[in-house]
Amino acid sequence: MAESKKLRDSDRFNLMLALVGNLIDGALYDVPELAKHFRVPESEIKEAIKNLGFIEINYHSPYGIDFDGLEEGDVAVHFGDKMAIQEVPRLSARQASALAAGLVYLKSIPGIADVEEIEKLQEIIASGFAKTKTPEVIINPIGVDLDIRILRQAINKSLAIKCDYQDNKNEVTIGRIIEPLRIDVHSEFIYLRGWCQTKQALRSFRIDRMRNTEILDTVKISDKAKQAELDDELYVPAENDIQVVLEVQPGAYGLMYDLKPIAEPVPVNKTSRRFTIKVGDVRNLGRLVTRYGGLAKVIAPEEARKAVRDFALAALNPEGSDSPKDAE
């Protein structure tokens, strides 16, 4: 792979997981050797290892990394002593029931690939309920879950759907007709990839912004929609979108992978990174940036900085400010 080739978000995450599995033995590895093995640029190997070093669990990093050696091209990763489990933890019935409910819900989310692993965990939890009936957990779909069920039915039946949809500029279209093709999970949101009959193009629709979703039994998914090429990008910036510069610290590094920078992030100091993204409406930055506290901030342009500031002020004083229409 060419050194200039950038990985997609999911590929970066998978690379981090694969590196943990390969490096956890504590042996010393060569960066070029790892780059060749995983078929990625050396810069991606180094960046993935650095990001592992910033992960914290209970205020301690589970990984010990030699950063000086990393810059020289050597990699060694090991677990810290504080992360070792000394004895098998015991769960109360309430804790086990909560885990069982969480696994049922996790298994129901579209896009989850490790269903077999989830089922194994369910079996382990069930085996711990000695001489008692294993609690049965049933989740009745409402809201987004109900919409997902409807969309799955439409996709399976190759039928179009109709819904009221609020776009990223807070404009609502009543009775929008969409030919559903695929359900994707991206970061904290679930999207429908589908063919928009109005715009005659592929679009990504946030399912939590859909209302009154119903299947159109008489409208089949067209050949044009079926033949459309589905890529992995949920958002394709338009030419007139606004370029926004963000700066993040380790606790907000996830934004670098979620927001698809238009260029490689650059270091500001030992921990902070700065990158540029494109957005259609700067008002949508408020909730995204403020949830990280001071770990993420907008550098430019001024209208984007003002949008985040206005959102924060609205959250502090909701009665005395003009908050975005989609602000909760």
pLDDT at 97: 75
CB–CB of 230/181 below 8 Å? yes
CB–CB of 217/161 below 8 Å? no
Same domain? For 51 and 97 the reply is no
pLDDT at 18: 79
Please give the order of strands across the beta sheet that includes 296-300: 266-267, 273-279, 242-248, 296-300
Residue 183 in any domain: the answer is yes
pLDDT at 320: 46
Dist. CA 53–CA 4, nearest whole Å: 24
Q: What is the CATH number of the domain that holds 164?
A: 2.30.30
CB–CB of 204/235 below 8 Å? yes
Residue 4 in any domain: the answer is no
Dist. CA 261–CA 274, nearest whole Å: 10
Residue identified by tokens 């989310």 is 109
Q: Of the candidates 181, 172, 185, 184, which has an alpha carbon nearest to the alpha carbon of residue 212?
A: 172
- Burial tier of 47 (Cβ tally within 10 Å: 0-12, 13-18, 19+): buried
Domain count, the chain: 4
Domain finish residue from 50, 83, 116: 83
Domain finish residue from 175, 203, 227: 227
Same domain? For 63 and 32 the reply is yes
Residue 299 in any domain: the answer is yes
Write out the residue range of the structural domain in which residue 13 sits. Answer: 9-83
Dist. CA 60–CA 290, nearest whole Å: 24
**Do strands 74-75 and 189-196 pair parallel, antiparallel, or not at all (unpaired)?**
unpaired
Per-residue pLDDT of the chain (328 residues; tens, 9 = 90+): 444 456 776 677 778 877 777 776 667 788 888 888 888 888 888 888 777 766 655 555 666 777 777 777 887 776 655 555 556 667 777 777 778 777 776 666 655 556 777 888 878 777 776 555 555 555 555 556 677 888 888 988 899 999 999 887 778 889 999 999 888 766 557 788 899 888 888 888 888 888 899 999 999 999 888 888 776 555 555 667 889 999 998 888 877 766 778 888 899 988 899 999 888 778 778 877 887 878 899 999 999 999 888 888 877 765 544 433 333 2
The set of residues, in sequence order, having a beta carbon less than 8 Å from that of 110 and lying 6+ positions away, is: 148, 152, 183, 184, 185, 190
Residue 178's H or E segment, with its range, is strand 172-186
- Give phi and psi for 130, each to the nearest 5: -70, 130
Does the pTM of the predicted model rise above 0.85?
Answer: no
Same domain? For 78 and 98 the reply is no
Same domain? For 149 and 223 the reply is yes
Residue 313 forms beta bridges with which residues?
none
Same domain? For 221 and 258 the reply is no
pLDDT at 287: 77
CA 133-134-138 angle, to 5 degrees, is: 120
Residue 327 in any domain: the answer is no
Domain finish residue from 201, 227, 253: 227
CA 123-125-130 angle, to 5 degrees, is: 100
Residue 310 in any domain: the answer is yes
Same domain? For 79 and 99 the reply is no
For the chain, the farthest-separated pair of C-alpha atoms sits apart, in whole angstroms, at 65
Residue identified by tokens 């959250």 is 315
Same domain? For 152 and 193 the reply is yes
φ/ψ bin of 146: left (φ > 0), alpha (ψ from -120 to 50), beta (otherwise): alpha
